[in-house]
Amino acid sequence: MDVGVLGQYIANGLMLGVIYALVAVGFTLFFGVLDVIQFSHGDVLTVGAFTALATYAALTLAGVASPWAQLAVVLLVAVAAMALLGALIAKYLVLPLRNAPPLNVLLLTLMLGAALRESVRLFYPQGANPKPFPRLLPADALALGSFSLRLDSVLLLIAGVGAIAAVHLVITRTRLGLAIRAVAQDAETARIMGIDFERVVLITFAIGSGLAAAAGVMNGLYYNEINFSIGLLLGVIGFSAAVVGGLGNIYGAILGGFLFAALQTIGAVLLPAIFPGLPSAYRDVFAFAAVIGFMAWRPTGLIAERTAERV
């Protein structure tokens, strides 16, 4: 295979990996503090992307022309709005079900996801159609032989890695992070130590949902198009990535995100090479089949959650 095409695949794979990792980190954070799966996470991402789009439209009306200013405001509004939404979801939908069977929370958030998705489709103007997402990053490309490196991809990649690194720093280096880790380890004991449990949970949900909004904006900037159902697949992929990496572990989520992107890329490159005539659309089939096979091999993910069952 041509080196340039291969480079293109790798660049694309890395980009997908960062987006997946951002989503997966959210799943793993929520699971850490509350032991629940917040399945509407992917749709929070969609709502974040559409919030960004609406903000962009408002900015254009207001006459702000500088793409950098637009980008900053759009990103800020989307992240802040989704952080708020995430905290609200935690407070009014997830926390009240704390003592219910875990499956009820899974179902509730699945349904909430469906409700968010449908609301975007029905209530955003022409929400059922794919929407063009503005190009806010410079479109210059650096030609390296047959491989052209898009500047916006590089910037997005750096921003994504930066966001994950920032969250990692917050979790490992701050008092807040200490509180989050304490709640994740043992909520009961954390409370005895004077940690405000509900506050920590709400902040964690806010951080995770903010990351999802960032991922939504990145996804929009990269593909220049969003639609109401992007969150469904991204949510499932992010969940798969978090589970494959090992729920509750932030490194696992990052690893899982890149692993899933690698699987998709391998599926897109190798399948047509091995079986000529097979459309590359099979790459998702391949990736999900690989996830199912992987779960049979490592049932609790790469970096396994340590469980001891109290009988």
Partner 1 sequence: MKKEGVPAFAGTTIPGLAGIAAVAVYSYFFLHAESQAAVLGLVAAAVIGVPVLGRLGWLSRVGASLAQHRAAGRIGIAVALLIVIALFRSEHFAMLMLASVLFYTIACLGLTVQFGYAGVVNFAGAAFFGVGGYTSAVLGAQLPHIAVLVIGGLLAALLGSVLILPILRTRGHYAALITVAFGILFRTFIEVNDALGGPQGLQVKGMNLFGWDLNTPIGEWSFYANYVLVALALAALAFVLVRRLERSWVGLNLDAVRLDETACAVFGIDVARWKILAFTIGNFLAGVAGAAYSMMTGFVAPNSFTFADSLIMVSIILLGGVGSLWGVALAAAIVLVLPEKLQALQEYRFLLYAVLVIIILLARPQGLIPRRARDYFA
Residues near partner 1 (CB under 8 A) are: 31, 37, 93, 96-97, 100, 102-104, 106-108, 110-112, 114-115, 117-119, 122, 232-233, 236, 239-240, 243, 247, 279, 281-282, 284-285, 288-289, 291-293, 295-296, 299-301, 309, 311
- The least CB distance from residue 163 to partner 1, in Å, is 25
Which one, 34 or 179, has the nearer CB to partner 1? 34
Which one, 44 or 214, has the nearer CB to partner 1? 44
Closest listed residue to residue 17, CA positions, set 201, 261, 294: 261
Residue 114 token pair: 């469906």
Closest listed residue to residue 46, CA positions, set 233, 175, 174, 186: 233
Closest listed residue to residue 15, CA positions, set 265, 291, 290: 265
- The least CB distance from residue 112 to partner 1, in Å, is 6
In contact, 282 and 290? CB cutoff 8 Å: no
- The least CB distance from residue 149 to partner 1, in Å, is 30
SS3 content of the chain, % helix, strand, coil (to 5): 75, 5, 20
Residue 221 token pair: 């900037």
Q: Specify the pairing of strand 147-150 against strand 225-226.
A: unpaired
Which one, 155 or 232, has the nearer CB to partner 1? 232
Helical ranges in 35-150 per DSSP H: 41-62, 67-89, 102-123
Which one, 108 or 156, has the nearer CB to partner 1? 108
- According to DSSP, the residues that pair with 150 across neighbouring strands are 141
Task: Round the CA-based radius of gyration of the chain to a whole number and report it.
Answer: 20
- The least CB distance from residue 214 to partner 1, in Å, is 24
- The least CB distance from residue 282 to partner 1, in Å, is 6
Map tokens 């159609």 to a residue.
129
- The least CB distance from residue 47 to partner 1, in Å, is 14
Which one, 11 or 232, has the nearer CB to partner 1? 232
How far apart (Å, rounded) are the C-alpha atoms in residues 232 and 248?
Answer: 21
In contact, 67 and 137? CB cutoff 8 Å: yes
How far apart (Å, rounded) are the C-alpha atoms in residues 39 and 240?
Answer: 11
| CA dist list (Å): 174 to 30, 65, 159 | 18, 37, 21
Which one, 6 or 107, has the nearer CB to partner 1? 107
- The least CB distance from residue 115 to partner 1, in Å, is 4
Which one, 71 or 108, has the nearer CB to partner 1? 108
- The least CB distance from residue 159 to partner 1, in Å, is 28
Which one, 147 or 288, has the nearer CB to partner 1? 288
